[in-house]
Amino acid sequence: MALSTLSPPPLPSSTTHSAASLPKLHHPTATASIHIRPNPQNNFLSTSAATAASLPPAALHKWRTNVSFFTGFLNNNKTKTAEAIKEELLEAIAPLDRGAEATPEDQQLIDQIARKLEAVTPTKEPLKSNLLNGKWELIYTTSQSILQTKRPKFLRSSTNYQAINADTLRAQNMESGPFFNQVTADLTPLNAKKVAVKFDFFKIGGLIPVKAPDRARGELEITYLDEELR
């Protein structure tokens, strides 16, 4: 599964960076991440903007309960199928603390559901779609470095965001407290749904810029995209 994959290197400091949806550089392996749009009214975010406040814990549940609202306006059977699969996916990941509590069996189940969802994606060429632009909140990932599972829970980022601007080919990953680290990147299209990623600057604490090493590269592939889920 690769609902969205990307690869951030560690920050050049004792503080490990946590970014929304990015595989490790030394031994490239795809990680899978799932995002929702935290504010459906805001379909665009400048990648130079600072991180916004975290969503309340009930935000995911609120989004899930609204799925039936959107389904009522959809007449296409394929789209209705996608909505049902989305609900199944959200139900599966809800108790897993964004993946930190996921067992191998949980990961396998979510991978299977995600593949079903990818098969009915309404956006075949996401890099050409305005739906991609904006700020996305990470709700699930298989990346242990993003989840910061080696840290005590009180030192982990509680919320991770990724902002993408397909028009300017820029991206920004942001984490919430306690460290508020960020990283920005240039995007180079490889095809209609995949880009090469070249990280340029980390921001320690969201304030102190540190130039990224040249090896700080990765890829991002969007395998499912609609108005609310990536």
The one-digit pLDDT tens for each residue of the chain (230 residues) are 434 434 343 333 322 333 333 333 223 456 788 888 885 433 322 222 222 223 333 444 444 334 333 444 444 555 568 899 999 999 999 999 999 999 999 999 999 999 999 999 999 999 999 999 999 999 999 998 888 888 998 999 989 999 999 999 999 999 999 999 999 999 999 999 999 999 999 999 989 999 999 999 999 999 999 999 99
Do you know the residue count of the chain?
Answer: 230
The Cα–Cα gap between 145 and 17 comes to: 8
- Supply the DSSP symbol for 70: H
With contact defined as beta carbons under 8 Å apart, do 215 and 27 qualify? no
User: Residue 8's pLDDT is what?
Assistant: 42
User: Residue 87's pLDDT is what?
Assistant: 94
> For residues 170-186, b (16+ Cβ closer than 10 Å) or e, as one string?
bbbbbbbeebbbbbbbe
User: Residue 193's pLDDT is what?
Assistant: 95
User: Residue 39's pLDDT is what?
Assistant: 58
With contact defined as beta carbons under 8 Å apart, do 224 and 12 qualify? no
The Cα–Cα gap between 162 and 174 comes to: 6
Inter-CA distances, 126 with 38, 51, 123, Å: 19, 24, 6
- Supply the DSSP symbol for 54: P
The Cα–Cα gap between 185 and 192 comes to: 19
User: Residue 20's pLDDT is what?
Assistant: 33
Is the preceding omega at residue 178 within 30 degrees of 0, hence cis?
Answer: yes
Q: Which residues pair with 197 in a beta bridge?
A: 187, 218
User: Residue 11's pLDDT is what?
Assistant: 39
> For residues 34-72, b (16+ Cβ closer than 10 Å) or e, as one string?
bbbbbeeeeeebebeeebbebbeeeebeebbeeeeeeee
Contact residues for 162 (Cβ-Cβ < 8 A; gap 6+): 4, 6, 19, 20, 21, 35, 135, 136, 138, 171, 172, 173, 174
